Homo-oligomer: A and B are copies of this chain.
């Protein structure tokens, strides 16, 4: 008997979209209000930036695959703009290659789970105030239909 095997490879943009959606749903379920694709004051783009009920700022960086992670290990550059930082990856991502320090979310298109809590390093008051204001203004512009990305 001949066996025919079809290998479906999920392209990186599809994985990114799916993991981003699942991680956003997960954050929403935790009480956060997430915003996708936010360019920070230092020019780095956060895949998800979320505002918690007490003003906590959480940044989640989606890694679609090994190559995506290996070619961009600048995750320290997100830390000055959030209280907590986590990676979000698909279930099949080889998690052992990720650094131990940040939080870790595993997500598919429907939701996610936290595998390692994101350590909290609270922002200074003035920085938090400025980021919260900029986040609110960017979110309102988006809600009004503008294609705005930069905080």
**Interface pairs (20), CB distance under 8 Å:** A28-B141, A33-B137, A33-B138, A33-B141, A33-B144, A34-B140, A34-B144, A35-B143, A50-B140, A51-B133, A51-B137, A53-B137, A55-B129, A55-B133, A129-B129, A135-B140, A136-B139, A139-B142, A142-B142, A143-B143
- Give how many A residues have a beta carbon under 8 Å from the other chain's beta carbons: 23
CA distance A114 to B51 in the complex (A): 33
- Confirm or deny: A24 has a beta carbon within 8 angstroms of a beta carbon on chain B: yes
Which 4 pairs, one residue from A and one from B, show the smallest C-beta to C-beta distance?
A136-B136, A139-B139, A142-B143, A33-B137
CA distance A129 to B35 in the complex (A): 20
**Nearest B residue (CB) for A146:** B28
Minimum distance in angstroms from A147 CB to a CB of chain B: 11
Minimum distance in angstroms from A134 CB to a CB of chain B: 9
- Confirm or deny: A39 has a beta carbon within 8 angstroms of a beta carbon on chain B: no
Chain B residues within 8 Å of A140, by CB = 33-35, 50-51, 135, 139
Chain B residues within 8 Å of A28, by CB = 141, 144
